[in-house]
Amino acid sequence: MIALEALSKNFGSTHAVKNLTVDINPGTVNGFLGPNGAGKSTTMRMILGLDAPTSGQALVGGVRYDQLCYPMRTVGAHITGTAGHPGQTPHTFLKSLVQSNQLAGTRAAEVLAEAGLQNVAHKRIDGFSLGMRQRLGIAAALLGDPQILILDEPMNGLDADGIAWIRQLMKTRAANG
């Protein structure tokens, strides 16, 4: 479960997030809706410990993200941006994450297949479309077979097949708790 308790983030005099309290339970798909600048990404960044709250706290399973023993096994995240260095291949990018997080050696190939990227696993990322980069970021989020996925604009850049894939992924993972 994710618990946000009176979570706030100010950037100078701008209140990006103000006194947000919510419990997000397992087995559900939740979305933050709002215009650009409404604090959606900032909230996700605070959950992941990438931005410090001005006040309040974000807890994952009762602890802050930085206190998790195996973060990638608990929370998989893809926040806006690209995954991997442009000169890398998806395979080398994911293998480095597998090794640095002590995950099963087969996970890189498994998530590449799940994301529909197995045919481009050894091509350089710099030649990828936005949708392919998005799939790669989501594949990276899936590496630890996490209990929780945090995806910022997961359908951004995806084609019709990619949108169908991400919807099915979310439904399946929610149904499995």
DSSP assignment of 104-125? -TTHHHHHHHHTT-GGGTTS-G
| Domains of the chain with bracketed CATH | 1-68 (3.40.50.300), 70-177 (3.40.50.300)
**Reported pTM:** 0.91
Q: What is the pLDDT along the chain (177 residues), one digit of tens a residue?
A: 999 999 999 999 999 999 999 999 988 999 999 999 899 999 999 999 999 999 999 999 999 999 998 899 999 999 977 788 989 999 999 999 999 999 999 999 999 999 999 999 999 999 999 999 999 999 999 999 999 999 999 999 999 999 999 999 999 999 988
Q: What one-letter code names the amino acid at 77?
A: A
